[in-house]
Amino acid sequence: MSGIAHHLLKRGIDAGRESYRSNSQASDDKPFGNPHAVAATLGITALLWFLAMNAIHYVYGGVVATLTMIETPTATAFTVDPAQSDEVDAPLLSGDEKKSSSTEPELFYVKTKPITSKIRTTIKHLVAVAGPWSRFRGLQVAVLYHFVHHMIFQLLTALIGHRMIPQSLAAVATAVILCRLQMLWNHVVISAPSEKKWYRCFPTIEQGKKIILPTAVWAIAEQATIYVPITLFYAFNLDAYAQNPQNFGNLSEMQQKSIMLASLAVMMSGLVTAALITVPASVTLNRVQASLLSEEHDTIVPFDRTFGGRVQPAVVGGTCAVSMLDAWKTFDWAARLRLIGLYAKIFAIQISTCIFFVALAVFEVRMINGDYVLY
């Protein structure tokens, strides 16, 4: 998504430059604005775009998505006593008839609407419980994780090579090495506010062993989402047309349709891989991590630590950690649809943000060029 946004912003700046060139040729006495002002203005715009995109990715794609993955909707219980009948003929019944018609009170459960059903309700809940900056909870851990991840990944690729397969292996190995730090981020995000500092809640080595496999599966799924489209891109020889678009114009109409279908297949392969492999792997990993949250910490959203009775607490001899299969099976279809809807909303927000900043960059260039005058 960031790559698409970068491309759109670059196209917007290029469009502004082309406008300047055409206007300069038409009117030589109309000088372009201060180039330093142009650079500063576009630099600030690019910085704001970068911060906005990362904020959207972290708050909605990180914090809100993680809470959506672990929330267990609560149920409200109430009883109905048949003896308290609302029927108009009830007083006319004889004593024997009343005795025969009365039964035990019936118990009903009504599930409450999940907090994470909407982005707005999730943010509102976080702010109410943990304050206005709670939407960025876990940010310190995330920055530390990405910094250390970058350092380890660069070290491993320097040792084993920069080709596709070595890079994938390095990415998986790095994720496994940092699995405890990643689980710490999960625990900071899902836990209720506490006076205990985040660095004092670091998971134990024993807990880390229980998430090695889920972490490895998730990391492999991430690499598949990246490299399956890349592999198909080169398999269909689309790189020849990307590097030299004129080659596409030299093809016949039938060949052009084939190339367009191949391009569509490449894009769909990434979406399908993400939906069928990466998302389930991410859900499974986050729920396994959440199952290892210390009992001294409450969760900020309702969360069933027993996973429907499948997990026994350590105090009674249980393992505490849910299995990968149970972690996914207990994530019902209502929750899956809720998560898919969240990702669709995030994608729409990111596209809207990109369009806004591209339009803003073009407007700024044309304003400095003198095409637009504000009164």
Encoded amino acid at 176, one letter: V
pLDDT of residue 7: 53
pLDDT digits (tens, 9 = 90+) for 202-227: 999 999 999 999 999 999 999 999 99
Strands 75-80, 106-111: pairing is antiparallel
Helices (H), the chain: 2-26, 35-58, 65-70, 95-101, 119-130, 139-160, 164-177, 179-190, 205-209, 212-235, 239-243, 246-249, 253-273, 279-291, 324-329, 333-369
pLDDT of residue 80: 58
pLDDT digits (tens, 9 = 90+) for 230-256: 999 999 888 888 888 787 878 888 888
pLDDT band (50, 70, 90) for residue 112: confident
pLDDT digits (tens, 9 = 90+) for 272-295: 999 999 999 999 999 999 999 988
pLDDT of residue 309: 86
Average pLDDT, the chain: 84
pLDDT of residue 3: 52
Encoded amino acid at 374, one letter: L
Q: Report the share of the chain in percent with pLDDT over 90.
A: 59
Which residues are within 8 A (CB) of 72 and not within 5 positions of it... i.e. 6 or more apart? 302, 303, 304
pLDDT of residue 29: 47
pLDDT digits (tens, 9 = 90+) for 301-311: 999 998 988 88
Question: Quick check: helix, strand or coil at residue 244?
Answer: coil
209-226 burial, b for 16+ CB within 10 Å, e for fewer? ebbeebbbbbbbbbbbbb
CA gap 112, 84 in Å, rounded:
26
pTM confidence score: 0.81
pLDDT of residue 245: 79
CA 158 to chain CA centroid, Å, is 30
Task: Count H helices and E strands in the chain, helices first.
Answer: 16, 2
pLDDT band (50, 70, 90) for residue 159: very high
pLDDT of residue 246: 81
DSSP state of 191: B
pLDDT band (50, 70, 90) for residue 374: very low
Residue 191 pLDDT exceeds 80? yes
**Nearest alpha carbon to residue 181 among 137, 135, 222, 147:** 147
CA gap 319, 253 in Å, rounded:
62
